[in-house]
Amino acid sequence: MAEIVGAYFTSHVPSIGGAIHRGLKQDPYWKPFFDGFPPVHEWLAKVKPDVAVVFSNDHGLNFFLDKMPTFAVGAAPEYANADEGWGLPLYKTFKGHPELSWHIIEGLVEEEFDPVTCQSMLVDHAISIPFELAYPDAEQWPIKLVPIGINTVQHPLPSAKRCLALGRSVHKALASWKGDERIVVIGTGGLSHQLDGERAGFMNAEYDRFCLDNLVSDPDALTKDSIHEIVRLAGTQGVEVLNWIAARGALGPGAREIHRNYHLPISNTAAATVLYEPA
């Protein structure tokens, strides 16, 4: 019987990858962010997940505007990273878990979601960086991947309510999976940030605190705001909190927070790292 061991959430700012690459973890600018990771490493060593179901958004590597799915579930045997155009190191390839992917797809469609299914899919920094942070010394990823993509790029975006429902339906699918895997749910991106327009550089610690305080015990509180309101509160790219909301739903009804680190700025972003266990 599979077990959902918990949920891991972190930001995926590309420059984190650059900081790792250049050995800057102890640099005064970066240290407050990287100091959030020893508890993640200890927790992963303890709970030993072997599959990750990851909610994230593509940034123009796998998807272009010619075909832009609202929800996309990876069902590939492996997922490579590729050149994103601005000089990040190339990240390690993930092994997939197509059987579990198709089980999730079956479950989602049964629950009246209509995901795009991807038997071939590249993954970008939004997945690679959270894994580089979680498993800094790994030569190969010690864990298989089921990626679930949410459109946070081209409006209309799915509502926060819809993303939470998506996550809850993924939870139902995971709960009915007959395998004996230990599953970790991951949400990446955010928190508040805005890269574009005259409001570039906008962050909102107050809204981020509201999200972090409520996500664990009352995730529905985060779904009261429309996408437009979330953009106003979190910034144009802060809507990546949708990935966190969906991942929270996939963890299951009850959760308790066992770790939280929040620091801004990392690049233009308010960065957070959080661990939940089922409760």
Active site members: 125, 193
- Residue 275 CB, nearest distance to other proteins (Å)? 23
Q: How far apart are CA 171 and CA 246, in angstroms?
A: 10
Q: Confirm or reject binding of residue 83 to other proteins (CB under 8 A).
A: yes
Q: Confirm or reject binding of residue 61 to other proteins (CB under 8 A).
A: yes
- Residue 125 CB, nearest distance to other proteins (Å)? 11
Number of residues that bind other proteins (CB under 8 A): 40
Interface region with other proteins, contact rule CB under 8 A, candidates 81-89, 112-120, 138-146, 216-224: 81-89
| Contact characters 9-48, other proteins, x per CB under 8 A | ------x---------------------------------
Q: Confirm or reject binding of residue 224 to other proteins (CB under 8 A).
A: no
Q: Confirm or reject binding of residue 154 to other proteins (CB under 8 A).
A: yes
| DSSP per-residue string spanning the chain | --EEEEEEEE---HHHHHHHHTT-TTSTTTHHHHTTSHHHHHHHHHH--SEEEEEE---SSS--TTS--SEEEE--SEE-----SS-PPPPPPEEB-HHHHHHHHHHHHHTT---EEESS----HHHHHHHHHHSTT-SS-SSEEEEEEE--SSSSPPPHHHHHHHHHHHHHHHHT--S--EEEEEEE--SSB--SSTTTT---HHHHHHHHHHHTT-GGGGGSS-HHHHHHHH-TTGGGHHHHHHHHHHH-S-EEEEEEEEEEEETTEEEEEEEEEE-
**For other proteins, which residue of 7, 49, 76, 84 counts as binding (CB under 8 A)?**
84
Phi, psi for 233 (deg, rounded to 5):
-85, -35
Task: Report the amino acid identity of residue 28.
Answer: P
| Contact characters 196-215, other proteins, x per CB under 8 A | xxxxxxxxxx----------
Q: Are 15 and 277 in contact (CB under 8 A)?
A: no
**For other proteins, which residue of 20, 116, 195, 258 counts as binding (CB under 8 A)?**
195
**For other proteins, which residue of 38, 87, 253, 254 counts as binding (CB under 8 A)?**
87
Of residues 1 and 65, the one with the C-beta less far from other proteins: 65
Q: Confirm or reject binding of residue 194 to other proteins (CB under 8 A).
A: yes
163-182: which residues touch other proteins (CB under 8 A)? none
- Residue 253 CB, nearest distance to other proteins (Å)? 32
Q: Give the binding site for other proteins (CB under 8 A).
A: 15, 59-61, 64-65, 68, 82-87, 153-156, 194-205, 228, 231-232, 236-237, 263-265, 267-268, 270
